[in-house]
Structure 1
Amino acid sequence: MDRLEEDEDEDEDEDEDEEGLSSMCKGERQRVISVKTPALGKMTFRRSTGIKNQTEVVEFVFLGFSGILYGHIYLSLVFLAIYLVTVLGNLMIFIMIQLDSSLHSYMYYFLSHLSCLDICISSVTVPKIMVNLLLQQQTISYNECMAQMFFLMSFRGEQKRPGLLAVITLDLHACICKPLHYSHLMNTKVCTVLAFATWIWGFLDSALQMALSTRLDFCGVNQIHHIFCDVPPLMKIACNDAPINKLALQMAGVFMGGGPLLFIISSYIFILSSILRIQSTTGKRKAFSTCASHLTVVFIYYGNALLNYQRPRAGYSVATGTLVSIMYCVITPMLNPLIYSLRNKDVKGALKKAVESWRKSEHHHSAFKIAR
């Protein structure tokens, strides 16, 4: 009897070993591993115990502010101030363009789209940065990272902002170089199609980039040398080679970023030559003032984009990369309304009229209260 019981126990052990081996081969046994560090916060992995012993990343850790151990609350207040200035400034530009009849031109129509774009870009990145700073936990889940990357590329994509800047250049070229044919070249239908084509193309390109990014394997490495989710930082920590991802990113940068830049440069050669032929000093000054605001925005965008995406492989610290990223995606959207409101006479005139009408309404309202 004892011998039979021992044989049965051995059979049960063999069955358990076979079941364990089959579950390992199928990759069914998983356990969640959480590691907490004082500088980076909590890091979570889902470990799959199988033959390949793969580790699936559940969340990512941003290293952009890892060197800052104190003052997170004050830093979050700085980002809050930048965010409020960006949203309120661009919203002011958008509302003035819609309400003031002197700004009902096609150039300001495209500028209103640019203001909406800046509000969306800031809303994708800055709130998450502030929350992470307040919680002192620089983490983001995998799904949130993919969603942030999709909307960031949709609004900031290498084709949308350059596309809108190129369309504004086209409007300036038609207005200054071919004023007699302006009404035929630029009409409501053409401008609407051009504006919304940049939005649609941006969403299509970001959908393609995100679909390719979901195929990346990270092999347990979840530390991103950045302050938000973007394609290049994710490709750097991926453990599998992704030539298609690199090719798609380079093609988008060359054709959708370089193409509009070449168009802007070539158009401004003709624009400047036409301005120099204007006889009136007032006309020259007004044309130069309008072009100066647009050129300033172009230089700021392409300068920051070049620093952000064409970084040297060696001698580039995390702190420097964080500063460049902040300039590119946080500071630039804040500067656009300031540039157009300070350098553009039409916008300044509309702003003065809005302030004067508000003062008059307040004066009438206070006088009515006193009369009562």
Structure 2
Amino acid sequence: MEETNQTNVRFFILLGFPTSSELQVLLAALFIFAYLLTLMENVIIIAVIWVNNNLHKPMYFFLGNLSFLEVWYVTIIVPKMLAGFMTHDKRISFQGCLTQLYFFVTFVCSEYILLAVMAYDRYLAICNPLRYPMIMTNDYCAQLSAGCWMCGLITSAVKLSFIGRLKFCRIDEINHYFCDISPLLNISCTDSSTAELADFVLALMVIMVPLCIVVMSYIYIISTVLRIPSAQGRKKAFSTCSSHLTVVVLFYSTTLFTYARPKAMYAYNSNKLVSVLYTTIVPLLNPLIYCFRNKEVKNALRKTLSI
């Protein structure tokens, strides 16, 4: 019996959103609409940046990377959730669950770091405008972008190396709509304290270090902008980073609520609602924020669509 109890389950059941069949259809329609709209928005952003030479700048290079990242970020989560709505088959294999978790953690960690890189870029552009072209070369931008992805991949691999050692026995129901760290830690039938500690330390590094970079960058940016004598100059300087600041606030405020204490948050059903914000709503809003709050992107979009 003890040997049976220490055998991994072959698949998990993602409970998702237990509602009536009519509400399931409505939720499926809403998530399909949000998913397709998110893909369309981000692909348009990438295409507009690609075809407009005046957007071939570091700021928009990183924006294109953010859009590319978010296309995969939502794709690793939403289609599986939609399949559960439509087929009522909420099973996901053990290997499939860990694969989904690996890529999800990779994209989340990469986005944290990429947002910090974008803040650093705005700091250099506003606080060191004369040195900015010499520092932010094409090669350096490519290295920073590659660094974001590498940090995400390595962080995810380390986290999964601990979570993959856990045993899950007969408990195969996950009270979530995708495989996240917190539900897996909580349904493990072996001691998960080491995996939880590793997750906490890595989360602290991946969240707090980029957050400190963002905060310090904007302290210097605000200090520099306030010293600009003309109101028009201050408005123009801050307008170049207002979109990024809005995206940072949205992403950090929703994810920090969940991942500050991952195992503790699993006890609350509200965790699923918060997860919808950063897996569906925030990627949907980000391209709109950059389009509506950035004149260069709006003008390039009009120019592209008028061709």
TM range (shorter): over 0.9
**What SS is found at the alignment partner of 1:57?**
coil
Q: TM-score, normalised by structure 1?
A: 0.78
**What SS is found at the alignment partner of 2:8?**
strand
Counterpart pick for 2:61 among 109, 122, 135: 109
Question: Which residue is equivalent to 2:296?
Answer: 346
The 2-side partners of 1:314 and 1:232 are apart by 7
State yes or no: 1:299 paired with 2:249.
yes
* 1:189-210 deviation line (CA, Å, top 9, x unaligned): 1111111111112112212222
C-alpha contact (below 8 Å) 1:72/1:136 kept by paired residues: no
Runs of 4+ in 1 over 6 A off after TM superposition: none
- Identical counterparts, % of pairs: 37
Question: Which residue is equivalent to 1:167?
Answer: 117
The 2-side partners of 1:249 and 1:81 are apart by 33
The 1-side partners of 2:44 and 2:281 are apart by 17
AA of the residue aligned to 1:276: L
**What SS is found at the alignment partner of 2:12?**
strand
Counterpart pick for 1:127 among 47, 67, 79: 79
Question: Which residue is equivalent to 2:274?
Answer: 324
Unaligned runs of 5+ in 1: 1-49, 358-372
The 1-side partners of 2:2 and 2:221 are apart by 65
Q: What is the RMSD computed on CA atoms of the aligned residues?
A: 1.8
User: Would the alpha carbon gap of residues 202 and 234 (structure 1) be closer, same or farther in structure 2, given more than 3 Å must change?
Assistant: same
Higher strand share: 1
The structural deviation recorded for 1:56 is 3.2
The 2-side partners of 1:173 and 1:53 are apart by 57
AA of the residue aligned to 1:261: L
Question: Which residue is equivalent to 2:199?
Answer: 249
**What SS is found at the alignment partner of 2:156?**
helix
User: Would the alpha carbon gap of residues 317 and 255 (structure 1) be closer, same or farther in structure 2, given more than 3 Å must change?
Assistant: closer
State yes or no: 1:336 paired with 2:286.
yes
C-alpha contact (below 8 Å) 1:117/1:156 kept by paired residues: no
AA of the residue aligned to 2:117: V
The structural deviation recorded for 1:51 is 5.3
Question: Which residue is equivalent to 1:88?
Answer: 40
**What SS is found at the alignment partner of 1:229?**
coil
User: Would the alpha carbon gap of residues 60 and 68 (structure 1) be closer, same or farther in structure 2, given more than 3 Å must change?
Assistant: farther
Question: Which residue is equivalent to 1:240?
Answer: 190
Counterpart pick for 1:143 among 95, 98, 113: 95
C-alpha contact (below 8 Å) 2:62/2:118 kept by paired residues: yes
* 1:254-300 deviation line (CA, Å, top 9, x unaligned): 11110110111111111011111223433322222222101100000
User: Would the alpha carbon gap of residues 315 and 108 (structure 1) be closer, same or farther in structure 2, given more than 3 Å must change?
Assistant: closer
AA of the residue aligned to 1:77: A
State yes or no: 1:209 paired with 2:159.
yes
C-alpha contact (below 8 Å) 1:163/1:198 kept by paired residues: yes
Alignment coverage as a number of residue pairs: 305
The 2-side partners of 1:315 and 1:199 are apart by 27
State yes or no: 1:153 paired with 2:114.
no
**What SS is found at the alignment partner of 2:22?**
coil
* 1:14-49 deviation line (CA, Å, top 9, x unaligned): xxxxxxxxxxxxxxxxxxxxxxxxxxxxxxxxxxxx
Q: TM-score, normalised by structure 2?
A: 0.94
